[in-house]
Amino acid sequence: MSAQVTLFDLASNDGKGCWSPYTWKVRLCLNYKQIPYETKFIEYPAVNPTLEQLNIPTNDPSVAHGYKYSIPCARLPDGTYTMDSIAICRRLETFYPPIPTLSPPSLRFDDPITEKITKLVNDFDGPLAPNFMFPCSEILNAESRKYFDQKRSADYGKSLKALLDEDGGEKAWAKAKPAMDGIAELLQKNDRGPFLLGFAPCYADFIIVAFIEFLRRLDERLFERVTKHHQAFEELYEACTFLLDRKRD
């Protein structure tokens, strides 16, 4: 079956495909629903001109940290384009609705767990950033690395190496621990399996798995620190590994 969806993703320098947690949320959804798609990898400086040339409406200022254009972006079966992970996944569900007994169940975007996990992962991501910003830069090609370093260094008021040396390490892990504990607590509430809401994953599960996979792509030590923090993280990740296999097209 030919691809009906085109996913715009950020390039890396190791040839291993997807690394961004934002794009991984969409990939997990696509792979879960078994939707044929192709990927177009682009560099950071090319995001604005590439998407602007396609006449894509700009982001709402309240999303994507105020960026006019952002990745992920997807061309959908009707020829329209959508940015922002959850917006893309919601639209995919309208094009490929669940069919009882014949397809995976709904990803349950509107369940309150989505908002809870979104907040907790943000509270995990922010404090841990000193530990992953520098490795994130290292995975990029030269043109993207220069762009990324300038933007993020301006955000933090210091170089990414200084951010790691001064604010990273155990200091960052300690600040991230309350959010990690909160996520683990929610994962343990379901006694029917590793997922948050029952026997099948929901979008909130994909938010967690996307961030864990992002850390794995950057540094196995970051990945192991999270998955060993609590058994619930490892069990959820293992339950979704079959959805992480498709990295390139």
Q: Both 187 and 135 in a single domain?
A: yes
Q: Both 187 and 86 in a single domain?
A: no
Say what the pLDDT of residue 205 is: 98
Parent domain of 83: 5-95
The rounded distance, in Å, linking the Cα atoms of 61 and 228 is 37
Four-residue CA torsion sign, 115, 217, 31, 144: positive
Say what the pLDDT of residue 105 is: 79
Total number of domains in the chain = 2
Say what the pLDDT of residue 17 is: 87
CATH number at residue 34: 3.40.30.10
pLDDT in tens, 62-107: 776 778 999 999 999 999 999 999 999 999 999 998 877 656 678 9
Angle at 128 between CA 127 and CA 132, to 5 degrees: 140
Q: Both 154 and 238 in a single domain?
A: yes
| Low-confidence spans in the chain with pLDDT less than 70 | 1-3, 64, 101-104, 246-249
Say what the pLDDT of residue 1 is: 43
Q: Are 17 and 39 in contact (CB under 8 A)?
A: yes
The rounded distance, in Å, linking the Cα atoms of 191 and 227 is 19
Does a structural domain hold residue 77?
Answer: yes
Does a structural domain hold residue 107?
Answer: no
Cβ-based neighbour number of residue 34 at 10 Å: 10
**pTM above 0.85?**
yes
